[in-house]
Chains A and B, each alone.
Chain A
């Protein structure tokens, strides 16, 4: 009767697991919300900001072993949705909060503070063998990337460039990177239909590496990591100077309009909770260094100090 004993053992173990589950249900009613429990810190949002927060949390956790830092990656929009629902204390975003999100937060009575934790420089890249593109202006980019810009080959962009069809690679429409690029470059225009979109920036890197006439844009970290295989295009900034993205030019703002801030949004009420306050403080003290470590650019030191003062004030310290 082997099968009978098998059923019995299985049945018993199932029962045990279920009982264990139920037992916990009763014991943890009060910390289900995460609001009352003192140690839990809930962070969610942009996948672009995630590496910075992961690095900060790793260090914080090492320094405070009983801390409970949870970081999710729902994207900037998904993060705000959870922030609005009151499920998180801190929301990461690679774009500023939108008007309708602000309105919903107000409706739910959630006050928040916006903090810029680091900078990123959208890098416009072409193939390594591409020897004709020396610099681009925002107007040229607009012409190239919009659906009705009428650009097919490099010669359509500037005279004297080869008559070879350009291949466009773009981050997916859900990403904050796409949002930022289309706001700066496209305005209200549609992105061209023949652009290949991918949610994975590594695919874009491969696309441009593999095709002589490819062009793409993505976060500075992806360019910095693949420097040897890509050629970055200097962009003409508001002072009519062509600037290459680097730690210095992004931090100083010289590399514009493609330097973009990365944000965290902190719920003011949550700062009354000591562990959230401590974590936010720790983030501001270390974000610059961590941002550099994971491939982003730090903000000037004074900016972090300003934000720290604001946090202290809100927490009543």
Chain B
């Protein structure tokens, strides 16, 4: 007498393995779909845009002649914008996260704030543009400057930074805190010497991904009145400016086919910048991550 009925197993086995095979194929095609779309996109952009890519493209201003058109003002504008957005959003975002995680007592009010922050992350970007227009441009009289644009962008990505920083802080084991408190450290000392060093990879990864979103946004900046043509470089944060996505958007709307190709070249540059920022995020995560 055998303990297991081999016949039953045999019968069920093929059915189970077919099911496994089907699932395998299903999930593979889900992955493949995304990859194929990405490849088609990249192929199109590169085949159209690579021809125009040269040094002149980076050092020329926009022009009515497609062959002379460049993105100097747009690249410099994007960098200026990041120079305002990055410090403001990181300081405010990490500050908020520390307060919510470490200092705030858990009551209805903080829960209310928490829910609102999560909701803000899902608000359409054009709404932030409207806010920026009324508050920064009109009320605070910043005009259509880099400062107004940078602050608007900071608000846009603030919720993402807050939430990712909170996650990073929350991931630190409680025993780390207890050890620090046991040594007689105050809360601030603990945050500074224990929490932040351990949370920095998570915070920076979230921050850089959020900044990558900001560098690719158009709608809020169009709303606050970022420019489309500007043939000089911004001198300070109160100058007018344009950014890469606006320049690309502008070129794709033109009737002339050549401008669509120029737009593709612009997209290549934007992709390179995004890739660069994302790899920094990966490097930081790999280099500084601690395991507990």
Give A residues with C-beta under 8 Å from B: 2-4, 6-7, 13-14, 17-18, 21, 24-25, 27-28, 31-34, 40, 42, 44, 47, 50-51, 53-55, 57-58, 61, 68-74, 82, 85, 87, 200-202, 219, 221-222, 224-226, 290, 293-295
When C-beta atoms are compared, the residue in chain A nearest to B238 turns out to be: A28
Say yes or no: B197 contacts A7, CB within 8 Å.
yes
Say yes or no: B253 contacts A47, CB within 8 Å.
yes
Q: Can you offer 20 A-B residue contacts whose CB atoms are under 8 A?
A: A3-B200, A17-B83, A17-B86, A32-B141, A32-B238, A40-B240, A50-B228, A54-B64, A57-B231, A58-B62, A61-B232, A69-B229, A69-B230, A71-B229, A71-B230, A72-B228, A73-B250, A74-B222, A85-B138, A226-B255
Contacts of B144 in A (CB 8 A): 70, 72, 87
Chain B interface size, under 10 / 10 to 19 / 20 to 34 / 35 or more: 35 or more
Contacts of B62 in A (CB 8 A): 54, 58
Say yes or no: B232 contacts A68, CB within 8 Å.
yes
Contacts of A44 in B (CB 8 A): 225
Say yes or no: B228 contacts A71, CB within 8 Å.
yes
Say yes or no: B64 contacts A58, CB within 8 Å.
yes
Contacts of A34 in B (CB 8 A): 143
Contacts of A290 in B (CB 8 A): 64
Query: B91 to chain A: closest CB distance in Å?
Result: 6
Question: Told that A7-B200, A40-B240, A61-B61 touch, could you supply 20 new A-B pairs with CB distance under 8 A?
Answer: A3-B197, A17-B83, A17-B84, A17-B86, A17-B87, A18-B87, A21-B84, A24-B236, A25-B147, A32-B143, A50-B228, A61-B231, A72-B144, A72-B228, A87-B143, A221-B255, A224-B255, A225-B256, A293-B64, A295-B255
Contacts of A17 in B (CB 8 A): 83-84, 86-87
Say yes or no: B229 contacts A225, CB within 8 Å.
no
- Take A69-B231, A290-B64 as given contacts and tell me if A202 and B222 are in contact as well, using a CB distance cutoff of 8 Å: no
Give Cα distance in the complex from A2 to B197, angstroms: 9
Give a binary string over B252-268; 1 marks a CB under 8 Å from any A CB, 0 the rest. 11111100100000000
Query: B145 to chain A: closest CB distance in Å?
Result: 8
B277 within 8 A of partner (CB): no
Say yes or no: B227 contacts A70, CB within 8 Å.
yes
The one of A27, A28, A31, A54 that contacts B229, using a Cβ cutoff of 8 Å: A54
